[in-house]
Structure 1
Amino acid sequence: MRYWETIDIDAPVALIWRLTTDIEDWPDFLPTVRRLDRLDTGELRVGSAARLEQPGQSSAVWTVTHLEPDREFTWETHRPGLRLTGRHLLEPVGAGTRMTLVLETAGWAAGLASVLFGGMMRGSLRRESEGFARRATAGV
């Protein structure tokens, strides 16, 4: 299953990219992140990992699988019978940025996860995109 949320943010791609990849700051402004602990140091790169605690979920380790500066940051985690892939896609729109957040589920439990948690996943993507927009336009 694939869920996504797109929002246009009145801020340059460079700022949105910084907010997206400075993942240690996410608990400060994203209502979808309770705690995030980097498991490595330095700039975010393919192979970087973090333990993420989100409301209503057990903690999970997410590992970066693709990173294209100023365009895309993709990471994934695994749960029994389920692979979750999260993508943060950015594209310039005039002087601003179009951000698309994508969550894909795969594995034998993906259908059940969709039935049980599809609404929660859609709502989380919406709240997360709104959190990025608020932070970006707050003069950070």
Structure 2
Amino acid sequence: MAISHELIIDAPVERVWNLTMDVEAWPDTTPTMTAVERLDDGPLQPGSRARIKQPGQPARVWTVTALEPESLFVWETRAAGLRMTASHRLAAAGDGRCRNTLEIELAGPLAGVVGRLLGRRLLKTIATENEGFRRAAETVHS
């Protein structure tokens, strides 16, 4: 099961990408993140890990599985019976704007149940995160 949210941001892809890669600053961008702690050094790359604390949830370690500069960032975490994969897809939308698509995919034996129980909440969460990226990118002065 996949849930996605797309938003056109009035900022260049490069600016939105830089915000996306600064995962430790996400709690300043969105209320859906309480804390993000990198567990390794250097730029994000496949295999990089971060511990994320979100309101009302236990902290989870997310591992980067794919990264294509200025276009794709994917990471995943696992819980009992569930794998969650989160992706950030960026693309030019014309006139210096960015199309930012956030998606969470649920897989595993509990994916259907979790999706039915939390699908609306997950959509609200990623929409809130996307709005946070929009607000941050559009208020940055270069």
Task: State the TM bucket, normalised to the shorter chain.
Answer: over 0.9
> Partner of 1:46: helix, strand, or coil?
coil
> Partner of 1:98: helix, strand, or coil?
strand
Q: Which runs of 5+ in 1 are unaligned?
A: none
Query: How much has 1:100 moved relative to structure 2?
Result: 0.2
Partner of 1:100: 101
Partner of 1:111: 112
Query: How much has 1:116 moved relative to structure 2?
Result: 1.5
Q: Percent identity?
A: 46
Query: How much has 1:29 moved relative to structure 2?
Result: 1.2
Counting only pairs closer than 5 Å after superposition, residues 9-88 of structure 1 correspond to structure 2 as 9-88=9-88
Between the aligned partners of 1:119 and 1:38, the Cα distance in structure 2 is 29
Query: How much has 1:31 moved relative to structure 2?
Result: 1.2
Q: How many positions carry a matched residue from both structures?
A: 140
Report the TM-score when normalising by structure 1: 0.98
Between the aligned partners of 2:4 and 2:91, the Cα distance in structure 1 is 15
Question: Could you tell me which amino acid in structure 2 is paired with residue 123 of structure 1?
Answer: K
Between the aligned partners of 2:121 and 2:53, the Cα distance in structure 1 is 15
Query: How much has 1:19 moved relative to structure 2?
Result: 0.2
Deviates more, 1:50-59 or 1:64-73: 50-59
Between the aligned partners of 2:56 and 2:46, the Cα distance in structure 1 is 27
Between the aligned partners of 2:10 and 2:29, the Cα distance in structure 1 is 17
Between the aligned partners of 1:10 and 1:139, the Cα distance in structure 2 is 11
Query: How much has 1:56 moved relative to structure 2?
Result: 1.9
> Partner of 1:44: helix, strand, or coil?
coil
Between the aligned partners of 1:139 and 1:18, the Cα distance in structure 2 is 11
Partner of 1:130: 131
Deviates more, 1:77-86 or 1:22-31: 22-31
Deviates more, 1:65-74 or 1:112-121: 112-121
RMSD: 0.7
Question: Could you tell me which amino acid in structure 1 is paired with residue 68 of structure 2?
Answer: E
Between the aligned partners of 1:18 and 1:86, the Cα distance in structure 2 is 17
Query: How much has 1:33 moved relative to structure 2?
Result: 0.5
Between the aligned partners of 1:16 and 1:4, the Cα distance in structure 2 is 17
Please list every run of at least 4 consecutive aligned residues from structure 1 whose deviation after the TM superposition is greater than 6 angstroms: none
Report the TM-score when normalising by structure 2: 0.96
Q: Which runs of 5+ in 2 are unaligned?
A: none
Between the aligned partners of 2:25 and 2:107, the Cα distance in structure 1 is 28
